[in-house]
Homo-oligomer: A and B are copies of this chain.
Amino acid sequence: MMLRLPFIALTITCTALFAQDTRTNWETLFREIPASDRIGTYVRRLAARPHHVGSAYGKENTEWLVSTFKQWGLDSHIETFHVLFPTPKGRSVELIGPKKYRALMQEAAFSVDPTSGQRTEQLPTYHAYSIDGDVTAPLVYVNYGIPEDYEQLERFGISVKGCIVIARYGASWRGIKPKLAAEKGAVGCLIYSDPKEDGYYNGDVFPEGPWRPKDGVQRGSVMDMPLYPGDPLTPGVGATQGAKRLDVKEAKTITQIPVLPLSYADAQPLLSSLTGTVAPEGWRGALPITYKIGPGPAKVRMIIKSNWDIKPVNNVIVTIPGSVFPDEWIIRGNHHDAWVNGAQDPVSGAAAEMEELRAYSELLKKGWKPKRTIVYCLWDGEEEGLLGSTEWAEAHADELKQKAVLYINSDSNGRGFLGISGSHSLENFINAVARDIEDPETKLSAWKRSQLRRIAGARSIESRQEARNREDLRIGALGSGSDYTVFVDHLGIASLDMGYGGEDGGGIYHSIYDDVYWYTHFADTDFTYGRTLAQTAGTAVLRIDDANILPFQFTNFAETVRLYVDELKRLLSGMQEQFKERNLQIAEGLFSATDDPKEPHVPPKAKEIPPHLNFAPLDNAVDELAGSAKQYAGALKKVSPSRSIPTESLRQINQKLIQSERLLINPDGLRDRPWFRNLIYAPGFYTGYGVKTIPGVREAIEQERWKEAEGEIARVAAALTAHAAMIASIAADLEKTAR
């Protein structure tokens, strides 16, 4: 289904290149409008009851959102997709020997917290997209359940084959844990919140403090999102009513083994029944037990059975048509669905987004005419697997490829420091925005406060110097974990993800305690930073909307890619040195000589030393990119600010700028996961949310596939070269225009 955009007659006009004065005025006006108390009102409304995918209140919320936006005079509608969404009909975890214990699997309601008792509407504690199962097996503790933990287990001579693993949350996205456990032969997977990461170790627990209480559980999706996010039954296409669907059995993103989450109160009896090897220091949490690995003698039975229903996913879409470049879309989104009440995740961000819309409606009344089409989205089904955004973007893929200038995402928000990740062609742009936002606590700019924090937190003299002296603060690269994924990774649309945080801790993530009581007692209690987020994202939208030439900048991108290439080289040389050293240590008998015969280890095996790889194609491509970027920056400077340029020329230049980002996409995608097509940014196959930049090369090196690494180098180099050529071509266009 196409986006319903009012038709705008395109007339040929001329536009002054930098509409500085106009911009400042509308922006300044805009930033005055967002109000904390209104954001508070939205949060209280949206988070009043549980509102996960398919819930009654989720539906009510979307209807309320649409009617509110319509009241504000904005074009708004619900766009629905139909996705596979399993909900549990049976769950249990039981220690059946040597002692008996039946896991409670129920979060406690507290009388001070009025929404914690809405039990009939709350989703139970479970992991969405776990396969059904009923397994009984010895238990084994695998720490975070990430690849290096299994390497450690190998040194201990411990296999998880035929076992149920218990892993703690942390160090990777949760879905990686069952994926890796299944690869290693485990038959079930439990994931619990250790108080070290998420409980009393960090501070008072809820409701006295913000941290996870003993029965609190982190729900979450365990869908194999690094393969593809969105509806498991409709990879690559929108899950419309009539879409062709896979059979549930064919869906590769459903787990291979059953998975369930546990509270630390439920985990403790299980963990304390393990014997055998004492867990190494880095594996120990904050429970008052000796952490041991097992396997066994603890034997566990776990059962999970789900209703495998198709449920509606309701996105709310708001469109403000562009007056000059209606076919250039500025897209902004935040999800509205939650695991339970979700006052923080995602309502704190969604409410800010709402307030941006209210501010636009005020500006529109005052005569503001956006040049471009502004599309605001409130996504459904983010929690279960980025369902709403993925299906929407897949459904509108062709149009988005043509028209999307960028996508600006937010999610949970809190007090503190502005955090930004995104496409590095927008790094310079978003830095400029951050310089114009006032931090409410310090009255410094959000940029300055971030900079000072980086100086304070720098781990080396070099990074401190960079924080002090580089014109722009570096933004992080996007991995996954929120709704930007389909835009940046699947469609090659430049994206930004932003939010404030870093001051309030807490342990209510994906629990019934992420609610209004918690948020108004322990987070951005007066919604001051909600207002600041609205100011930040809205300023970005207004500024990019108002720009005649879209504010992409490529010197930062080129410099960043060079850093990534350097990282790849260091990764390889590090592995060479490490393997060489380990082989030498094996040869000199170090492992047996330093081993304690009472606690023997399995020595590692000697490995072939990684070959040298030909990085020249990448180096050449980066040089070209840097050259083009410089050329583009030079051309831009030559264009006089006061000069009028025919709108059609601008349109053509901007279209090329938009398309330049698409060149980072390769239609074949990444190895074993063609849905992921961005050659520069991707979530890691074994990290989940964590980004792997230049993923084809990086993961080939990490997984010791040397031939493939060289092939990937060539593929990335070709994309960068094409990208560089496009930028050079835009620069030439600009020079012509400037003459």
Could you list which residues of chain A lie within 8 angstroms of chain B, going by C-beta atoms? 195, 200-205, 209, 211, 278, 284, 286-290, 415-416, 441-442, 444, 448-449, 452-453, 455-456, 464, 503, 581, 585, 588-590, 592-594, 596-598
Contact = CB atoms under 8 A, between A and B. Distances in A.
Contacts of A278: 202-204
Contact of A288 (B200, B449, B597): B200
A581 B461 CA distance: 10
27 contacts: A195-B288, A202-B278, A202-B290, A203-B278, A203-B290, A204-B278, A205-B290, A211-B290, A284-B286, A286-B286, A287-B288, A415-B598, A441-B597, A442-B592, A442-B593, A444-B589, A444-B593, A449-B593, A452-B588, A452-B594, A453-B593, A455-B585, A455-B588, A455-B590, A456-B585, A456-B590, A503-B598
A503 B596 contact: yes
A415 B595 CA distance: 12
Contact of A204 (B202, B290, B416, B503): B290
A733 B438 CA distance: 79
Contacts of A594: 449, 452-453, 456
Nearest to A208: B290
Nearest to A439: B593
A354 B47 CA distance: 76
Nearest to A288: B288
A588 B448 CA distance: 10
A198 to B, nearest CB: 13
Say how many copies of this protein the assembly contains.
2
Given A449-B593, A449-B594, A455-B588, 10 more contacts: A200-B288, A200-B290, A204-B290, A209-B290, A211-B290, A441-B596, A441-B597, A452-B589, A452-B590, A453-B593
A429 to B, nearest CB: 24
A287 B196 CA distance: 11
A535 to B, nearest CB: 19
A141 to B, nearest CB: 15
Contacts of A205: 290
A278 B203 CA distance: 6
A589 to B, nearest CB: 7
A452 B195 CA distance: 38
Nearest to A440: B597
Contacts of A288: 195, 200, 286-288
Contacts of A590: 452, 455-456
A737 B45 CA distance: 99
A278 B581 CA distance: 43
Nearest to A454: B594
Contacts of A204: 278, 290
Contacts of A416: 596
A38 to B, nearest CB: 23
A448 B593 contact: yes
A588 B317 CA distance: 44
A270 B507 CA distance: 25
Nearest to A525: B598
A281 to B, nearest CB: 9
A425 B201 CA distance: 48
Contacts of A593: 442, 444, 448-449, 452-453
A205 B288 CA distance: 12
Nearest to A456: B594
A579 to B, nearest CB: 15
A204 B291 CA distance: 9
Contacts of A456: 585, 590, 594
A585 B458 CA distance: 12
A211 B195 CA distance: 23
Nearest to A464: B581
A449 B203 CA distance: 44
